Structure 1
Amino acid sequence: MAKAVEPVLTGVDVSKAELVIARSDSSGVETISNSVGPCKRWLKSLPPGSKIALEAIGIYHRQLAKLAHEAGFELYLLDGYKLNHYRSGVGTRAKTDASDARLILRYLTKEMDSLKPWIPAHDAFYRVQGLMRRRASLVHTRVALSQSLQDIPELKQTAKQLDAHIRRVELLIVQRLKQAMADVGWWLDAKRCKAIEGIGDLTGIALANTFHRGPFRTSDAFIAFLGMDVRVRDSGTQTGRRKLTKKGDPELRRLLYNAAMAARKTQAWKSLYEAYIAQGLKPTQALVKLARKLARIAFALMQNQTTYQPKTP
């Protein structure tokens, strides 16, 4: 009777050009091209039930992640921040592709019980997220150019025309965002979010897009995915400084912060913001807390498919 092949654990270090792989059944590492053919051939070589872990690196991990999921393997995407601190914690001095692959394998082996298998997002999620990031880059470029050229009188007219042209491109991207949301039926959720005082089109789109990346069981999970949950560091009688974890998409956090800045001026949220200040919070802390409140309300509206009821005076 043939002996059953045991599943293996694998750690994969991802780059644009190649994948460096460490396996639990081998002391060495192997390197393959980060392209469809080699990835499929490597996945076919894995025994059924094997588990794969890799660090999320921009867009370069997506191809392998999608192929592994389609092949039926359990996949874990590791957070780069945690992995970096794990490297320091275990005393790894070197940082090479091979050592990173082994580190990811070690992390998977030791921490697997606390990890959640990766679930692929809808293609529309990445499309909307990509458009949001491109718009953010345009805004950053436009502001930088405006500040750089403002003290050159002979370029004033040209700078003004350039600014107007970039703004037109930004508007085109917003139109594409709305269409992309409508195509997959997410625009209604974006409108639910937009009904909240302070939240505009872009923030509503970003919140709805993130919601559909889920599933999120609770609003706490949603807030944690946004990176707006608080990291607590207390020891004995010492109370450490509270900081946001800042995981997830920084552009969405920026939009939510701007939404809070707009909301604090409205009749609906002005008193709450002032209450936060009265509690001893600094303005930035109060705005972050208000932004988190707006995000929780948005989550509840989308989760329950209800319509926002504005606060009455």
Structure 2
Amino acid sequence: MAMHVEPSLIGVDVSKAELVIRQSWSSNLVKLGNERKAIDSYLKALTGPVCLAVEATNIFHVLLIERAHALGHAVYVIDGLRLKRYRESIGGRAKTDASDAALLLRYLTHEKSDLRPWTPPPAGYATVQRLLRRRSVLVQTETTLRQSLQCLPELKASVRAMLARMKHMQHLIDQRLAQTLKRQGWKGDVRRCQGIEGIGPITAAALTLIFHRGAFKSADAYIAFIGLDVRVRESGTFSGRRKLTKKGDPELRRLLYMAAMTACRSSTWKPFYERALARGLSCIQALVALGRKLARIAFALLKTQSDYVPKVVQVA
């Protein structure tokens, strides 16, 4: 009978230049340069099954988790806010690279059974995500500049030229995005999402991207990944204010909110929006609820690979 071997646990604090590592089998702190040669040398020297806990740190943790996963190690990427609250819950006061590595190791030791191992996103995921984020920055910057410079009529011609150039850059990003979606074979999924009232090509691309990121068991899991699920606070007779968890990409939540603003004026979704207002929800809350509904329908279409039929929604 094969002997069950418990995996060794590792907590890794990541910065741009350095990795600080705390290991479950040693009290010694290990420091590595955050570059491929040093990472590969360390990971290949490990024996037996190993689980690593890494805090999500911009893009600086990506090389480590990709190399660890490629070598067969289990990787857990921990949300920074969750780790911060965990530190506070155990009375932690210091925050150093060494203490963060130890905290990650402790978190993994006690919470591993409730964590989901990280898996690499599908090919093309990073490209689509990067294009959507850069487009978002460009659009927000354009809006800010237009509003800020409109009070300077003497610069009207220069501002017009600058905004036209930014529009051209946005067009180039849209072209690149469409090419990438086609290359990935996701154009059909984007088309399905666009059939829903209020959802345009960018929102459809973002919904498709998230759908292909993981194997979601249900629409609830999909909604939670987006961060549109509701945090409930109740104890005895106390019922606290319910808020969105806001986990996941904030840009997709913004896109869904904008989609809901358009959808609420359609004949299909206006009754849903008005019923939400009648229940006492504010305009913002009603739009969030509608955005969540649109995301659920998008998930159903992508899951079943079916086309949107408005009459189905009207009957429901």
* Superposition TM-score tier, normalisation by shorter sequence: over 0.9
Give the number of aligned pairs: 310
After the TM superposition, which of the residue ranges 269-278 and 167-176 deviates more from structure 2? 167-176
Is the contact between residue 48 and residue 73 of structure 1 (CA under 8 Å) also seen in structure 2?
no
Structure 2 Cα separation of the partners of residues 148 and 283 of structure 1: 27
Secondary structure in 2 matching 1:311: helix
Aligned residue identity for 1:139: V
- Distance change >3 Å, CA 123–CA 19, structure 1 → 2: farther
C-alpha displacement of 1:210: 0.7
Deviations 1:59-79 (A, max 9, x none): 111111111111000111111
Any idea what SS the aligned residue of 1:53 has?
Answer: strand
Deviations 1:192-242 (CA, angstroms, capped at 9, x unpaired): 000000000000000001100011111111001001111111122111111
AA of the residue aligned to 1:93: R
Shift, 1:148, TM fit:
2.1
The answer to whether the 8 A contact 1:190-1:201 is kept is yes
2:54 matches 1:54: yes
Deviations 1:152-177 (A, max 9, x none): 12111111111111011111111111
Listed as ranges, the matches of 1:124-273 within 5 Å are 124-273=124-273
Which ranges of structure 1 fall in alignment gaps of 5 or more residues? none
CA distance in 2, matches of 1:148, 1:277: 34
- 2:98 is aligned to 98
Contact 1:190–1:205 (8 Å) recurs in 2: yes
Find the counterpart in structure 1 of residue 290 from structure 2.
290
Output the amino acid matched with 1:88.
E
- For residue 275 of structure 1, what is the aligned residue in structure 2? 275
- 2:228 aligns to what SS in structure 1? coil
Taking only the aligned residue pairs, the percentage that are identical comes to: 53
Name the aligned partner's letter for residue 141 of structure 2. T
DSSP-derived class of the 1:76 partner:
strand
Q: For 1:58, what is the secondary structure of its paired residue?
A: coil
Structure 1 consecutive aligned stretches of length 4 or more whose deviation exceeds 6 Å: none
Q: Distance in 2 between matches of 1:5 and 1:224?
A: 34
Q: Which amino acid aligns with 1:271?
A: P
What SS does the corresponding residue of 2:310 show, helix, strand or coil? Answer: coil
Does the residue aligned with 2:311 lie in a helix, a strand or coil? Answer: coil
Kindly state the Cα deviation for residue 56 of structure 1 after the two structures are TM-superposed: 1.3
Counterpart check, 1:114 vs 2:114: yes
Give me the CA root mean square deviation: 1.4
Distance 2:280 2:195 in 1: 30
Q: Which residue of 2 aligns with 1:82?
A: 82
Match for residue 311 of structure 1?
311
Counterpart CA distance in 1 for 2:31 and 2:279 is 56
Task: Give the equivalent residue in structure 2 for 1:37.
Answer: 37
Task: Give the distance between the partners of 2:181 and 2:17, measured in 1 at CA.
Answer: 32
- Residue aligned with 1:83, SS: helix
Task: Measure, in 2, the Cα distance between the counterparts of 1:189 and 1:6.
Answer: 42
Q: 1:22 corresponds to which residue? A: 22
Aligned to 1:32, the other structure's residue is in SS state strand
Give 2:99's aligned amino acid.
S
Tell me how far apart the structure 2 counterparts of residues 144 and 296 of structure 1 sit (CA, whole Å). Answer: 32
Query: Whole-Å Cα distance in 2 between the matches of residues 263 and 110 of structure 1?
Result: 45
CA distance in 1, matches of 2:60, 2:140: 24
- Matched with 2:12 is 12
Question: Following the alignment from structure 1 to structure 2, what is the Cα–Cα distance between the partners of residues 181 and 31?
Answer: 40
Counterpart AA for 1:267: S
Any idea what the Cα deviations from partners look like across 1:246-301, whole Å, max 9, x if unmatched? 11111111000000000000001001100000011111001000000000000000
| Alpha-carbon offset, residue 5 of structure 1 | 9.1
Letter in 2 for 1:209: L
Contact 1:196–1:308 (CA under 8 A) maintained in structure 2: yes
Conservation of the 8 A alpha-carbon contact between 1:12 and 1:52:
yes
Report SS of the residue matched to 1:116: coil
SS of the residue corresponding to residue 216 of structure 1 reads: coil
In structure 1, what is the Cα distance between the partners aligned to 2:303 and 2:17? 40
